[in-house]
Amino acid sequence: MKIGILVNEGPYNHQASDTALNFCKAALAKGHTIWRVFFYYDGVLNAAPRAEPPTDDRNLFKQWGELAEKHGVDLVVCVAAGLRRGIREGDTAPGFRISGLGQLIEAGIQCDRLVTFGD
**Average per-residue pLDDT for the chain:** 93
Number of domains the chain is built from: 1
Instruction: Read off the CATH number of the domain in which 45 is found.
Output: 3.40.1260.10
| Catalytic site positions | 78
pLDDT tens-digit map of 35-60: 999 999 999 999 987 777 777 778 78
Which residue range is the domain that position 90 belongs to? Answer: 2-117
- Backbone angles phi and psi of 3, in degrees to 5: -120, 135
Q: State percent of the chain over pLDDT 90.
A: 76
d(CA 90, CA 28): 28
Task: Check residue 9 and report its DSSP letter.
Answer: S
Q: Which helix (H) or strand (E) holds 28?
A: helix 16-29
